Amino acid sequence: MKLLFIPGAACGRKAWLCQTRHFAGSEAVTLPGHPEGKPCSSVAGYAAWLRDYIGEQQYQGVVLAGHSMGGAVAQRYALDYGDGVKALVLISTGARLRIRPELLEAVRGMVAGRLAWRDYLEERHSATVPEVRQAIIEERLQIGPAVLLNDLLACDKFDVMDRVRAIRLPTLVISGLDDELTPVKYAHYLASQIEGAREVIVPGAAHWVLAERPQEVSQAIAGFLAGLD
């Protein structure tokens, strides 16, 4: 079994530092354009890239764990290329991801240099645990706001609400109780639509639950993996 972590919008491998340190042999992938290469313009594009990557690495029995946009990528992968996937872990995500217009406008301001990218990241990661906070921020600074805008636009077009019920894989859904970007109702919907899905809601955490309450998230994942055949 290979546990693969998929980062969210404009994030890289270090977003998953707490989890890759916890799970021996796991791997956080680097999506194209994050920062090397050209980012994909759609969630489906990232899923196709991931299919090729998994094939090149000859991984078998893959468990896909995705945060936010990464969770959308995991869903598209399961729906489009399900063979070889053992299970899903969907964190702070939904079957549809609509981005608030004011957030898109703010990110456009960062791309144009009107607003500070570092200030945005410092605020976004204010609740991230200290041992990984600066590593995540520095990596995201390199990735840049243009990639964030690209990824948010890809998320805004993502919608598998009419298909998600077709996922027939063991699935763990995790959400921070205070998540405003992908509210708990998104997790409830996923858990209600994917047959047999398990749901974990983490109090005192928001959208970055994986790095705000990493111990709780890793324990939930470990328990889930222990129950797989």
**Rounded-to-10 torsion of CA 42, 45, 51, 57:** -100
pLDDT value, residue 82: 83
Q: Count of domains in the chain?
A: 1
Domain harbouring 205, CATH code: 3.40.50.1820
In the structure, what pLDDT confidence band is assigned to residue 25 with cuts at 50, 70 and 90?
Answer: very high
What is the span of the domain harbouring residue 205? 2-226
Q: Are 150 and 41 in contact (CB under 8 A)?
A: yes
In the structure, what pLDDT confidence band is assigned to residue 84 with cuts at 50, 70 and 90?
Answer: confident
| Each residue's pLDDT tens digit, 109-119 | 999 987 899 99
Pairing of strands 62-67, 171-176: unpaired
Phi/psi of residue 159, each to 5°?
Answer: -160, 110
CA 149 to chain centre: 16
